[in-house]
A and B are shown apart, each in its own frame.
Chain A
């Protein structure tokens, strides 16, 4: 029953116009939609998309500044930079890292150490980072790699400035070293200041003057296309090179001191008492800082860390020792200052007892010194005199005076990691040990034993108060900063220590006279270094007990294991009339101060005052003094 429909043209047209109208409305809506979307993008979110398009095309490449040099007082280079080829791998770009390493091994020498370090880095770092595989490629190796580069995807050569310490282990505890920026470093440093940099100062001057040595990174703002290729340079800021540091330390003097200590453990700190400039700063044993620059390997590090000689410890700065008899010169000053006459005598029968006690505090000379005054007590280092003196003054006065002389507090040296030492007091003992103070503890404080701890640096610093007869300077290792860009050298002004416990200057003369007799007097404990000296030395020997000696035991060096022998100490300044060098020497387990430590001090002073070299001179370049008008004086506080 099909129905035959006939075309109704009018009706068809009507339907068509209706449909056309509907679609026109739809078009209108869609045009508005498109326009709305374009307005949304181009007007409402314009800033957002402009930023994105800028980010797209502009990349900022840091230009690494040249790190400042570290030079000694005469311009000998202690830390420098040299251009080295480093072979680096971006693991993500390599097809197969083990294969790549095998191929590279055929072109350049890869030690198991290199591979181990690389494996460790690969574990720690992200795959798209460029990781060093081999440092310091030779020219031949670099060329061999360059020829084969096309088939070694993921590997590339980088020319990088690398830190180098041309004098090796010399003064390592002073100069320090740089090392790779570690994860823990990243948490404390300002990352923006280190853009593109791999190293930072980890120790010594390298760490303490990091901000001055580092310089400021420059950048290149370049336009890149979608493939990351450089199209053109938009902007460039030159990097500002790090400033050079001139140390007051003399590299040759440093070498003299290190050689004098030899294989023994110990420390030598010498400073110019008038300026506080540190002349030599030795801690032995030393080690090669160059090991640390590219990340030390595990084996070498554990060797250093686990050595019983503890080479990593900076004995000069952070080694804390009982001062032994060297404290006597300071206590002698204290006695005078608190009104005890220099001529007042004490009888030394070879031991000292406190009233109401049977405990004998022994003098080092078993037979006793007889009747001694202050001068003889210092010259012959009579223990009984100082037991008596300390007991008479009482611990509080001893504490006040020694603290006033700079002990038990930071010297303010421009190196990080300084230790404070310790001058005990009843208050301290109660706080730390929760125990009362015993009179016997005052007695042994008189000869620098018991709780008292000092660093070699503190000894040299405090001694300079005596050498200068009343004033002292904060120790400084850096004396000038050279800005290579402006060719300006700033001399850093010496900073005085605000300590001055001695009111009467004449008291210094008494002590200095006694100290001179220690070296030059016929019965002085340091007389073996004085007999042929062309100049006058004021000194004091010391022996610091490592193990306690029981009441009736006799200490015999031969019977005691080397590690348990006493530490030998010697402090001195010279020339007495116009002191130019103040020095503190400690030789661990060296025995007597007069025989072990004093000769080292003599060698250092000989070289410093008269350029007498015990050994052949080191090959160091002479320093050309900067023109006067370029020198700007400035005081640099400790950051």
Chain B
């Protein structure tokens, strides 16, 4: 008999993730227009993602740390390949067609960047000095620039968040943080001018969505209407008029939270947030319990990045953040992002369950 602790599963985390997956299936059935085929495909993805998670959990953190730089280099090569194909094809390119299946290399970087940064900081005394920070900035900057070129603002933002969190946790000095914040504020107009017109519009729209209710303001207006009209108790499962009548765009992917809150109301939203917070807190707890720097930084980084995804997505759907393509983690319909996310949870489990073995 195989004992569960030999499977390296962290049960509290597992329960949280399973709960989210179940919620996902229910909401998808409604958001997808009661398409059972869609739900079935999501079930397959969830099974695959959990399998990946459990597989990753078997790998000891020490091995992960060793592989971190290679994962990063591999990811960079793939990103450059995508960029190259894009240049030749003269168009936006995110996917790499590997013949059998399509693959989005940017997803690897969501894992590779925090892992490589944690690896870097473990190799050097902390708080990091300027040389190490410069190196970290390069490791973070290159993939972000390549992903931005695709252009995929959402993924770039998520990679940036995961990297910055690790840098912050590593103990970057406050004075430096303050200086960089000032510098960022100074070059913000420059960045603004380099954004695509549609990206600029997404941000300006946030302040006055009704200026262009059928154009750039449409997403924000319709999703806030959906959320607001849900009320305390919601309109009921399969009864959200905003979602069922297709007023909400991308209702099964990026805007699935609008469907959820319209149909389940404040009560449903509170439960969902509670489950999310439980998962995040468990992640933080794992980081707290971790025994070495690499595990700590990585666990903390993943737990907080996970929260960042949630915050950006809900903030965007409820109209307080600009619209960027960030899915609601584990609820939105979609393959690659779920697999990467579950791999990250696999790493968290690995960190937590290999802890006892390490202490021997």
- CB-CB nearest in chain B for A23: B304
Chain A residues 546-579 with CB under 8 Å of chain B are none
A15 beta carbon closer than 8 Å to chain B: yes
In the complex, which residues of chain A have a beta carbon less than 8 angstroms from the beta carbon of B293? 7, 9, 12-13, 16
Chain A hits for B129, CB < 8 A: 5
Query: How many residues of chain B have a CB within 8 Å of chain A?
Result: 48
8 A Cβ contacts from B298-346 to A: 300, 304, 307, 311, 314-315, 318-320
What is the CA–CA distance of A39 and B261 in the complex, to the nearest angstrom?
11
Shortest distance in angstroms between B60's beta carbon and chain A's nearest beta carbon? Answer: 19
Out of B170, B266, B297, name the residue touching A43 (CB < 8 Å): B266
Q: Could you tell me if A30 and B311 are in contact, using CB atoms closer than 8 angstroms?
A: yes
Which secondary structure dominates chain A's binding surface?
Answer: helix
Q: Are the CB atoms of A31 and B171 closer together than 8 Å?
A: no
Query: Are A35 and B273 closer than 8 Å at their CB atoms?
Result: yes
Write the nearest CB–CB distance from B238 to chain A, whole angstroms: 14
Central interface residue in B169, B228, B315, B319, by most chain A CB within 10 Å? B228
Stretch at the interface among A225-233, A399-407, A598-606: A225-233
**Which B residues between 155 and 177 are near A, CB-CB below 8 angstroms?**
165, 168-171
Instruction: Tell me if B231 and A16 are in contact (CB < 8 A).
Output: no
Residue of A19, A49, A224, A231 touching B225 (CB-CB under 8 A)? A49
B21-72 interface with A by 8 A CB criterion: none
Q: Which of B229, B232, B284, B297 contacts A52 (CB 8 A)?
A: B229
State the CA gap A224–B244 with chains docked (Å): 11
Bound complex: CA A34 to CA B308 (Å) = 12
Bound: A11/B229 CA distance, A: 51
A23 lies within 8 A of B169 (CB): yes
CB proximity of A49 to chain B, nearest CB, Å: 3
Report A-chain residues with C-beta under 8 Å of the C-beta of B297. 16
Cβ contacts under 8 Å, B222 to chain A: 56, 226
- Which of B126, B242, B315 is close to A56, meaning CB atoms less than 8 Å apart? B242
**Cβ of B125 and Cβ of A227 under 8 Å apart?**
no
Q: Which residues of chain A are within 8 angstroms of B315 by Cβ–Cβ distance? A: 34, 37
Q: How far is the CA of A458 from the CA of B48 in the complex (A)?
A: 97
What's the least CB distance linking A225 to chain B, in Å? 4
Residues of B within 8 A of A19 (CB): 168-169, 171, 300
Query: Which residue of B165, B168, B277 is within 8 Å of A31 (Cβ)?
Result: B277
Q: Are B318 and A38 in contact, with the CB atoms below 8 A?
A: yes
* Given A43-B231, A46-B229; A17-B288 close (CB under 8 Å): yes
Q: Are A46 and B288 in contact (CB under 8 A)?
A: no
- From 26 to 70 in chain A, residues with beta carbon under 8 angstroms from any chain B beta carbon are 27, 30-31, 33-35, 37-39, 41-43, 45-46, 48-50, 52-53, 56-57
Q: Contact at A12–B287, with CB atoms within 8 Å? A: no
Task: Indicate if B199 sits at the interface (CB-CB under 8 A).
Answer: no
Does A49 contact B171, Cβ atoms closer than 8 Å? Answer: no
A20 touches B288 (CB 8 A): yes
Least CB distance, B284 to chain A, in whole angstroms: 6
Asked if B242 and A53 sit within 8 Å, CB to CB, the answer is yes
CB neighbours (8 Å) of B300 from chain A are 16, 19-20, 23
Q: Is the CB of A227 within 8 A of B246?
A: yes
Which of A5, A42, A48 gathers most chain B CB within 10 Å? A42
Name the B residues within 8 Å of A27 (CB-CB).
Answer: 277, 280, 304, 307
Interchain CB contact under 8 A, B273 and A20: no
Render B280-293 as a binary contact track against A, CB cut-off 8 A, 1 for contact.
10001001100001
- Determine if A226 and B318 form an interchain contact, defined as CB atoms under 8 angstroms apart: no
Does A6 count as interface, using CB distance less than 8 angstroms? yes
Measured between alpha carbons, how far is A48 from B224 in the docked complex, in Å?
11
Closest to A18 in B: B171
Q: Is A96 an interface residue (CB 8 A)?
A: no
A42–B229 CA distance with the chains assembled, in angstroms: 6
Establish whether residues A34 and B318, one from each chain, have CB atoms under 8 Å apart when the complex forms. yes
Rounded to whole Å, the gap between the CB of A85 and the closest CB of chain B is 32
Contact A50 B126, beta carbon cutoff 8 Å: no
Bound Cα distance from A94 to B351, whole angstroms: 64
Known: A34-B311, A34-B318, A42-B227. A226 touches B171 (CB 8 A): no
Binary interface encoding of chain B residues 193-216 relative to chain A, with 1 for a CB under 8 A from any of its CBs, else 0: 000000000000000000000000
Contact B171 A12, beta carbon cutoff 8 Å: yes
**Contacts A24-B284, A49-B224, A225-B245 known; A34 to B231 CB distance under 8 Å?**
no
Contact (A23, B245) CB under 8 Å given A34-B314, A41-B228: no
Residue of B nearest to A49 (CB): B228
Chain B residues contacting A39 (CB-CB under 8 Å) are: 266
Nearest Cβ on chain B to A140's Cβ, whole angstroms: 40
CB-defined contacts of B232 to chain A, threshold 8 Å? 42-43, 46
Tell whether B296 is near chain A: CB-to-CB under 8 Å: yes
* Cα separation A363 to B311 with both chains bound (whole Å): 107
* Nearest opposing residue in chain B for A14, CB measure: B171
Chain B neighbourhood of A46, CB < 8 A: 228-229, 231-232
A223 interface hit (Cβ, 8 Å): yes
Chain B residues with Cβ under 8 A from A37's Cβ? 315, 318-320
Q: Which residues of A contact B318 (CB under 8 A)?
A: 34, 37-38, 41
Q: Are A38 and B269 in contact (CB under 8 A)?
A: yes
Which residues of chain A have C-beta atoms less than 8 A from B320's C-beta? 33, 37
Inter-chain CA distance A5–B242, complex, in Å, is 60
Closest to B231 in A: A46
Q: How far is the CB of A32 from chain B (nearest CB, A)?
A: 10
Q: Does residue A306 face the partner (Cβ distance < 8 Å to B)?
A: no
Nearest-neighbor residue (CB-CB) of A19 within chain B: B169
Are A52 and B169 in touch, CB under 8 angstroms? no
B348 within 8 A of A: no
B229 near A225 with CB under 8 A, answer no
Contact B246 A225 (CB under 8 A): yes
Counting CB contacts under 8 A, is B19 at the interface? no
Q: Which residues of chain A are within 8 angstroms of B226 by Cβ–Cβ distance?
A: 53
A183 within 8 A of B: no
Interface residue? B102 (CB, 8 A): no
Task: Judge whether A8 is part of the interface by a CB distance below 8 angstroms.
Answer: yes
**Whole-angstrom CA separation of A226 from B221 in the bound complex:** 13
Residues of chain A lying within 8 A (CB to CB) of residue B270: 35
Give every chain A residue within 8 A of B217 (Cβ-Cβ): none
Q: Which residues of A contact B227 (CB under 8 A)?
A: 38, 41-42, 49
Cβ of B230 under 8 Å from chain A: yes
B127 within 8 A of A: yes
- B143: Cβ under 8 A from any A Cβ: no
| A15 in complex: contacting residue of B171, B241, B265, B273, CB < 8 Å | B171
Q: How far is the CA of A333 from the CA of B226 in the complex (A)?
A: 83
Q: A16 — which chain B residues lie within 8 A by C-beta?
A: 169-171, 293, 296-297, 300
A73 CB to nearest chain B CB (Å): 55
A161 to B232, CA, bound (A): 49
Residues from chain B with a CB closer than 8 A to the CB of A35 are: 269-270, 273
A226 neighbours in B (Cβ, 8 Å): 222, 245-247
- Asked if A57 and B247 sit within 8 Å, CB to CB, the answer is yes
- A619 CA / B183 CA spacing, docked (Å): 95
User: With A24-B284, A34-B273 given, is the CB distance from A12 to B126 under 8 Å?
Assistant: yes
Contacts of B170 in A (CB 8 A): 16
By a CB distance below 8 angstroms, the chain A residues around B168 are 19, 23
Assess whether A20 is in contact with B242, with CB atoms less than 8 Å apart: no
Instruction: Kindly provide the distance from the CB of B228 to the nearest chain A CB, expressed in whole angstroms.
Output: 3
CB distance from B136 to the nearest CB of A (A): 15
Nearest chain A residue, comparing its CB with the CB of B265: A42
Residues of B within 8 A of A31 (CB): 273, 277
A521–B266 Cα distance when bound, in Å, is 100
How far, in whole Å, are A8 and B261 apart by their CA atoms in the complex?
48
Residue of A nearest to B307 (CB): A27
User: Can you sample 9 A-B contacts with CB below 8 Å?
Assistant: A12-B126, A15-B127, A15-B171, A41-B318, A41-B319, A49-B227, A50-B229, A57-B247, A223-B241
Q: Which 9 A-B pairs have the closest CB atoms?
A: A49-B228, A15-B171, A53-B229, A41-B228, A5-B125, A225-B245, A49-B229, A226-B246, A226-B247
Q: A46-B231, A57-B245 are in contact. List 17 more A-B contacts (CB 8 A).
A: A5-B129, A7-B125, A12-B293, A13-B296, A16-B293, A16-B297, A19-B169, A19-B300, A24-B284, A33-B320, A38-B261, A41-B228, A46-B228, A49-B227, A56-B245, A223-B241, A224-B245
